[in-house]
Structure 1
Amino acid sequence: MDITLNVNGRPEQFSAQPNELLVERLRDGLGLTGTKVGCDTGQCGSCVVRLDGRSVKSCLILTVSAAGSEVATIEGVTPAGGELSGLQEALRQEHGTQCGFCTPGMVMALGELVESTAGGEAPTEPEIREWLTGNLCRCTGYHSVVRGVQRACAPAAEPLVDTVRQEV
């Protein structure tokens, strides 16, 4: 089936098999390997992309069902040679990217949360943790990820409270 997708702001036209998954098209067909394949069952979240602005697990979406849609991948968040997004920088500062395998999916999913709360009330820790449901971190870096989201959502004039406990 011939389809067109707008991927990271660029139109892409190609033929896709009816059973081809969006993650396969992104990684194998378009070379966008930042979108990871972790479980192939929608459980881990490493394949999260934005489809028409909403976070979706691309291992559960058929490419043909995404025809005509806008797809944003981690490669579109920070163009080559560009600066990190506010969320990416906050995660870096809070050490929320340990091995990095889950990071692209988390950035794509949590980016939607950060954008939806911009200019409004910052999400609470339980809200951030709820949003993280479905994004598994094998290194158990959730505390650092939560702090990174809090940093990304904190008003610039407001100092960020350090929630790290000091070990004696």
Structure 2
Amino acid sequence: MTTTITLNGRAVALRADPATPLLYVLRNELELNGAKFGCGMGQCGACTVLLDGEPVFSCITPLVAAAGRAVRTVEGLGSAERPGPLQASFIRHQAAQCGYCIAGMMMRAQALLDRVPDPTEQQVRAQLEPNLCRCGTHHRIIAAVLDAAQGARR
């Protein structure tokens, strides 16, 4: 069976079991390694991607749930050579320590910025709450998201 998704703006046909977690398809089939395997139970957020603009835990989202829908990963925000505005802000603020949670944090933040271009600190905190950072860089992550929003207004 073939499942088609729109991945970072382009159609992709996949021959994978529809019950396979989207995270495994992204990492193993498509070699997009931004989303990380953390807990495998949708509790840590390291695997967060956007599905039709909404953050989802890709470790518990079956491929079939993404069929015919838009999937956006951190790779869709920019590249190491040309980081997108949110990625550049995370770099400026040195928001990553170990870096494991950062892709998921960025995707959840991007969903907020797409919906609310000028969020308050409380809105950022509430949006990021489901994602865990064990290194404790939350204050830098929040600063990076607010700075990215401010940069979009300039």
Confirm or deny a common fold (TM above 0.5). yes
Q: Paired residue for 2:43?
A: 43
Higher fraction of helix: 2
Using structure 2 for the length normalisation, give the TM-score. 0.91
Equivalents in 2 of 1:116, 1:25: separation in Å?
Answer: 27
Structure 1 outlier segments of 4+, above 4 Å: 155-158
Amino acid in structure 1 at the alignment position of 2:19:
N
Q: Which residue of 1 aligns with 2:111?
A: 112
Which residue identity is paired with 2:90?
L
Specify whether residues 10 and 79 from structure 1 end up closer, same or farther in structure 2 by C-alpha distance, changes over 3 A only: farther
- Match for residue 140 of structure 2? 144
Q: Is the 8 A contact 1:16 1:64 kept in 2?
A: no
2:75 paired residue number:
75
How much has 1:156 moved relative to structure 2?
6.7
Q: Which runs of 5+ in 2 are unaligned?
A: none
Rounded Cα–Cα distance in structure 2 between residues aligned with 1:77 and 1:38: 21
Aligned identity (percent) is 40
Asked whether 1:26 is paired with 2:22, we answer no
Greater Rg over alpha carbons, structure? 1
Between the two proteins, the alignment pairs up a number of residues equal to 154
Query: TM-score w.r.t. structure 1 length?
Result: 0.84
Q: Is the 8 A contact 1:5 1:70 kept in 2?
A: yes
Structure 2: how far apart are the matches of 1:156 and 1:21? Answer: 34
User: SS state of the match for residue 154, structure 1?
Assistant: helix
- C-alpha change, 1:156 and 1:136, in structure 2 (3 Å) is closer
Residues 1:48 and 1:151: Cα distance change in structure 2 (over 3 Å) = same
- Map 1:78-93 → 2, pairs under 5 A: 78-79=78-79, 81-82=81-82, 84-93=83-92
